[in-house]
Structure 1
Amino acid sequence: MRYLKYKCIVVLCFCVVTTYAQQNAPLSLKALLNTVDQKAPALLADSAAISIKQAQATETRNAWLPNLKLNYQADVGTNNNVAGPYFGFGTVPSNSSGVRAESKTNAALVNLGIAAFDWEAYNFGAYAAQNKVASSDIAVEQNQFQRSKYQLQAYTIGGYLQLMRLLDYLAIQSRNIQRNEQIRRSIQSLAKSGVRPGVDTSIAEAELSKARLNYIELDNQLKQTQLQLSAISGLPYQTIVPDTLAGTKLIGEANPPFAFNADTANHPYINYYKAIVQNSRQREDLVKKQYNPKILIEAAAWGRGSSIENDKFGSLANGWGFDRNNYLVGVGVSYNLFDLRRRQLKLRTQQTATNYAAKQLDEQKSLLALSVNQADVELNTAKQRLQEIPNQLKAAAAGYRQKLSLYKSGLTDIIELNAALNILYRAETDYAQAKYAYTSALFQKAITGNQLPSILNLLN
């Protein structure tokens, strides 16, 4: 019963990888990326930010509209005045009349209706500068969206490649479990016949248990990676099963066409910082023009009625209705001479911000160029490693078969057999790691060189 129990566990472990493929059709990398582009919460937030900037730009474009205010008021109070000027400060009510010899407490009713129009008709380019800044704000948000999208694509690709590597590791671990099962069965037969000591059985059991624990840990890592990709794609994590043939296709490409044609000038990272620099320069232009003189057109029409007639207080009812009507139209020019100093100081601040943004752009260009060179080195190293690994794998497999045969013949011990098994296991994992390193280097080259569509087209 114990033997059957272990056998069932091994069979279940061995079938996990194939079960993923049987229950869920492999999901291509391009399909996963398309889903992430549509459903990733970070991209949805960035898309909403673009909408905000677009709404603000619409608001800015309509800032030139004039003001037309309609006002009406009816007031009851006294009507006394004295000679002399004063500043209103916005708190002293108006009380128009002649100056009387004495103060009166009689109440008067007045009413006033005004239609006032004012329009900053021309400000020597300030409106246009505001619109350009609003447009450049949109461009910054749009390039931020593209940068976030590119970063998320790189993250998704990294997770997808990790899944491919973990599936390879699971398959290797399943074979390792099978080999340990085979060794244990051989030891049990030899121990029963007295050829081998019973302690070899315990050692074999320990190795088998370690192989199973490694499998459990790898399976956990696989599910954790699937959950991470599920969080950004909205797909059930069980359905995110990589197409293992994708790695084979990429490895079969001896000289990928995109690997030598980097397009860093139009890279999303570069475009983002270019947009920031352009936005800062547009703000410089706005600072230069927002302190320009302003040409104003103003007009007003108003009517007024009062219960006071010929300096005599009449019935309050006589205060309703308009007794006098007036209009006024004018053109004015407004300019604050001290704005010259304000513009100079603010322009200097904005120019410093522009200089900072330009240095960030230069830094990003340098970092991207470094990343391209590092990707080239890593790609060449991964290619050489991938070419050499099969020799190691072939020698390790032959060594294990020889040790297993010698052990069954009683010519070597369990320690040497386990050492040969570990060498084979390490060679298989090294081969899986070499495949992962090569495909990862290919994608890193494509990402840094802004050639991601080219490598995705190879997977069709």
Structure 2
Amino acid sequence: MHYLKRYGCMALLLLLAITAHAQQRVTLKDLLKKVDQNAPALITDSASIAIKQAQANETRSNWLPALKLNYQADVGTNNNTAGPYFGFGIIPSNSRGVRTQSNTNAVLTNLGIAALDWEIYNFGAYAAQNKVAGSDITVEQNQYQQSKYQLQAYTIGNYLQLLRLQDYLTIQSRNIKRNQQIRRSIQSLAKSGIRPGVDTSIAEAELSKARLTYIELNNQLKQTQLQLAAISGLPYQSIMPDTMVETRLIMQTNTPELIGADTANHPVINYYRSVVQNSLQKEELVKKQYNPKVLLEAAAWARGSSVDANDNFNSLSSGWGFSRSNYLVGIGISYNLFDLRHRQLKLRTQKTATDYALKKLDEQKKLLALGVNQADEELNTAKQRLAEIPNQLKAANAGYRQKLSLYKSGLTDIIELNAALNILYRAETDYAQARFAYTSAIFQKAVTGNQVSSILNLLN
């Protein structure tokens, strides 16, 4: 009973350790969710959307009128003469008829004005501005989705790299154990005089080489974990991939047939399509921003002066306060005939931008179609390679065992044994690479065809 309890506790602890290890594995779906939430690039793009939304709100307020309040008190002369002139914005106003004699006495006046300036109608320019602002938001939103798509592809690629590196580390661990086994055998044979001492040195060199390769592979694994940690916000040590991903996809032989291609709604296509639409909206804005403008003008003002109605220059203090008031209301229309040329030139420029956007959209469609075809061919090649590689692995394993047995019997040398070991090592790495290539081809087709969610559902 004592031993039974002891071994039962050990089995329970082992089970708990295995469960904890399994819980530490990060699934690809969970990792992608973390990237969506924490990736710095997506956070930045999200802020860009907020900027465009704020600008759209600002554009919608362009129709509001301008109501300006102004008050001024001035001291100066009131000494006019007859004759026209252009104001140029720098000649002060001086209201009064011409006197028979020059008079430079000081006058105090004050003036209060409330002026309304409202562009009440501009033949669709306001609507065109709002459409462009809304289109700008759509472009930013699609830019966000494109960045999300690119990060998704980047995350999947690095996740698969982790799986491959883990396979390589497992293979390298077995390779180290084989070299250790060979070294122990050589040491025993060398002590008995069956094998020369130089074989021990060769075995030590091969073992050291295997250990160095393991160190380098482990470094590559850590670097990949750090790259994923930077965009997911997870501690890099916790990013351990689910090792069953490749096995599940390989076992489901109909997986390639389940992956269609939805390039019409692909994030890249949606982005460039929105850029084209945005450029077309800007064309409409160019057409309408040079249209005539209907204006409502209104003003009310009051004045006071130290000069009375009889042209007497009274004390300056009498100029305070308002003695006369007026108002003026009117509707006008404004149109610059020479803006027709400006409109033509600007519209031609915008049409060129639209043509460029259309060509970029067509280019991306062709690139996606090419990517889908390349992914299909890569997937077919990967399937054939995966079907053939077990033959290589089986033969290499048998060859190594035969050479190891012959070496222990003294019928072959260390060079041939190491050659057989290297062939086995290459076969194992080729098998791991074939698994990686097949899984990578499946995800490449899914990413290119905008069907990643379909593959993720298969992994549940």
Alignment of 1:45-60 (within 5 A): 45-60=44-59
CA distance in 2, matches of 1:321, 1:258: 89
Contact 1:259-1:446 within 8 A present in 2 as well: no
Cα deviation, 1:305-352, whole Å, max 9, x if unaligned, reads 001112111111111111101000000010111111111111111111
* Residue of structure 1 equivalent to 2:344: 344
Cα deviation, 1:360-404, whole Å, max 9, x if unaligned, reads 100110011000000000001001111111111111111111111
Give the TM-score of the pair, scaled to structure 2.
0.94
CA distance in 1, matches of 2:377, 2:256: 17
CA distance in 2, matches of 1:250, 1:84: 94
Q: Classify the secondary structure of the residue corresponding to 2:431.
A: helix
Alignment of 1:122-201 (within 5 A): 122-201=121-200
Contact 1:258-1:455 within 8 A present in 2 as well: no
Cα deviation, 1:92-123, whole Å, max 9, x if unaligned, reads 11111111233323211100001101110001
* Residue of structure 2 equivalent to 1:304: 303
Letter in 1 for 2:410: G
CA distance in 1, matches of 2:22, 2:353: 56
Contact 2:110-2:320 within 8 A present in 1 as well: yes
Letter in 1 for 2:58: E
* Residue of structure 1 equivalent to 2:65: 66
Cα deviation, 1:36-82, whole Å, max 9, x if unaligned, reads 11111101110000000000001111100011111111111111111
Alignment of 1:280-291 (within 5 A): 280-291=279-290
Letter in 2 for 1:348: R
CA distance in 1, matches of 2:394, 2:64: 80
Matched, 1:35 2:34: yes
CA distance in 2, matches of 1:20, 1:334: 79
Q: Which moved more, 1:52-61 or 1:97-106?
A: 97-106
* Residue of structure 1 equivalent to 2:274: 275
* Residue of structure 2 equivalent to 1:435: 435
* Residue of structure 1 equivalent to 2:422: 422
CA distance in 1, matches of 2:342, 2:71: 39
Say if 1:21 and 1:376 are closer, same or farther in 2 by CA, change over 3 A.
farther
Find runs of 4+ consecutive structure 1 residues off by over 2 angstroms: 18-24, 101-105, 257-260
Letter in 1 for 2:361: L
Count of residues in correspondence between the two structures: 443
Cα deviation, 1:193-242, whole Å, max 9, x if unaligned, reads 11111110000000000000000000000001111111111111101110
Which runs of 5 or more residues in structure 1 are unaligned?
A: 1-17
Say if 1:180 and 1:257 are closer, same or farther in 2 by CA, change over 3 A.
closer
Q: Classify the secondary structure of the residue corresponding to 1:330.
A: strand
Q: Classify the secondary structure of the residue corresponding to 1:109.
A: strand
What displacement does 1:259 show?
4.7
What displacement does 1:24 show?
7.0
CA distance in 2, matches of 1:336, 1:381: 67
Contact 2:259-2:454 within 8 A present in 1 as well: no
CA distance in 1, matches of 2:19, 2:443: 25
Which runs of 5 or more residues in structure 2 are unaligned?
A: 1-16
What displacement does 1:258 show?
6.2
Cα deviation, 1:106-160, whole Å, max 9, x if unaligned, reads 2111000011011100011000001000000000000000000000000000000
Q: Classify the secondary structure of the residue corresponding to 2:85.
A: coil
Say if 1:396 and 1:21 are closer, same or farther in 2 by CA, change over 3 A.
farther
Say if 1:257 and 1:206 are closer, same or farther in 2 by CA, change over 3 A.
closer
Give the TM-score of the pair, scaled to structure 1.
0.94
Letter in 2 for 1:181: Q
Q: Classify the secondary structure of the residue corresponding to 2:113.
A: strand
What displacement does 1:21 show?
7.7
* Residue of structure 1 equivalent to 2:247: 248
Cα deviation, 1:169-201, whole Å, max 9, x if unaligned, reads 000000000000000000000001111111100
CA distance in 2, matches of 1:87, 1:253: 86
Letter in 2 for 1:234: G
Matched, 1:381 2:395: no
Q: Classify the secondary structure of the residue corresponding to 1:63.
A: helix
CA RMSD of aligned residues (A): 1.4
Q: Which moved more, 1:311-320 or 1:436-445?
A: 311-320
Q: Classify the secondary structure of the residue corresponding to 2:24.
A: coil
Contact 1:24-1:241 within 8 A present in 2 as well: no
What displacement does 1:255 show?
1.2
